[in-house]
Amino acid sequence: MKYYFSKITQYIGYLLIGLFFALILLQQYPRLIGHSIGWVDLLFETINNPAIVPVSYHNAIMQTAPSIVHLFEPISSSQDDQIKENKSIQYKSIGSGVIVDEKGWILTNLHVVKKADSIHVLLEDGRQVKAILKGQDAATDLAMLKIDLMNLQAISWIKQQKRIRIGDVVLAIGNPFGLNQSVSMGIVSAIKRNLYLHQYDQFIQTDAAIHPGNSGGALINTSGHLIGITSALFSNDSGNQGLGFAIPAYIAQFVTSQLIQYGHVRRGWIGVEAKRINLALTKQYHLQDNRGVLVDLIVPDSPADHAGIRQGDMILQIDEQTADDVDELINYITMTKPGRLLNMMIIRQTTYQKEMITVQVGQKK
């Protein structure tokens, strides 16, 4: 027994020695196995940069897919007559939607559904049901549908919009050209892109393939969280040219809550028009950097007028929000509940001194 144990130990020793020399050989000559760097260097690079490890986005897609729906409408207006005659009803695809609440609320683009006489929904599990348009917001091109079904899975929203970075991998899920549950991959090409298509534009730009039929679908990150609603593409021939755009989640989530609660969007308003500052204004107002927005116009008898804000004042901060971007400032105000008090740090044009101003938010008409 001792003899066999000794032999086994000896063979294991030979194996370990051989493995040791093999590793040394591969470290010195990595091209023997098709690598450009040694395995030790590769190990440390993998630890320091996990992104180089081959990955699959299957889990993120499977987590999200049950929340993506296909929107379509009957082609014929005489649907009831077809049913009586036992004829098959033909449908045409109009776009995509995202289940945002398990009670049957579906978010999509307004341009997808506004011309539809009847909207039907096809779920990922094969169920079909008619939807009712419950609310719309032309200012963001978003609309809310309602269906009456059980066991629905609402999508998971991204928690912090600031975590979206240029270069992040994103996945677009929708129904391009009527092809159910199609997925394309790309990166975030730009953020805060203003195309002047709607009143409130802060698009996420991506090179993920977005085609007709993707509108109203989901743009997700690799964790399966919704970062935007796919909405638009640039193309000369109705095809993808690497320029797709999505309404960011923070805007979509605000509109979602408003449409579910009121059927329309109630936006805050204080009656200020502002513009970005330049180097000359930075020096004039004795600013250490270019953070701040200049009050360009005050609407008479507005909340800002009543609070004492004047044309030429410089807004530095609203609550905890630094005022270094006009669009972000306007979005912050519009997403504030009417009646709420805003604390604003300003610099007076007349004295160049800082002051705190309190403004009661009105409701935009």
Q: pLDDT per residue over 212-222, tens digit each? A: 889 999 999 99
- pLDDT tens track for 307-346: 999 999 999 999 988 888 888 888 899 999 999 999 999 9
- pLDDT tens track for 76-93: 655 455 444 445 567 789
If one compares 210 and 258, the residue with the highest pLDDT of the two is 258
Q: What is the pLDDT of residue 327?
A: 85
Q: Is 182 a catalytic residue?
A: no
If one compares 176 and 160, the residue with the highest pLDDT of the two is 176
Question: Is 54 a residue whose pLDDT tops 60?
Answer: no
Nearest 5°: CA angle at 260, between 210 and 331? 65
Structural domain spans, the chain: 55-76+89-265, 268-363
Q: What is the pLDDT of residue 268?
A: 94
Nearest to 58 by CA among 219, 222, 188: 222
Tell me the whole-structure pTM to 2 decimals: 0.77
Nearest 5°: CA angle at 210, between 328 and 252? 35
pLDDT band at 130 (very low <50, low <70, confident <90, very high): very high
CATH number of 55-76+89-265: 2.40.10.120
Q: Is 211 a catalytic residue?
A: no
**What's the fold here for domain 268-363?**
Pdz3 Domain (2.30.42)
Which of the residues 141, 189, 198, 313 is marked catalytic? 141
Which of the residues 93, 96, 189, 215 is marked catalytic? 215
Coil vs helix vs strand at 278? coil
Question: Residues 6 or more apart from 86 whose CB is under 8 A from it?
Answer: none
Per DSSP, helices labelled H in the chain are 2-28, 39-48, 58-64, 79-84, 110-113, 249-262, 279-284, 303-307, 326-334
Q: What is the pLDDT of residue 85?
A: 47
Q: Is 81 a catalytic residue?
A: no
Coil vs helix vs strand at 237? coil
Which of the residues 70, 96, 111, 198 is marked catalytic? 111
Q: What is the pLDDT of residue 349?
A: 85
If one compares 61 and 282, the residue with the highest pLDDT of the two is 61
Q: What is the pLDDT of residue 82?
A: 47
Q: What is the pLDDT of residue 27?
A: 66
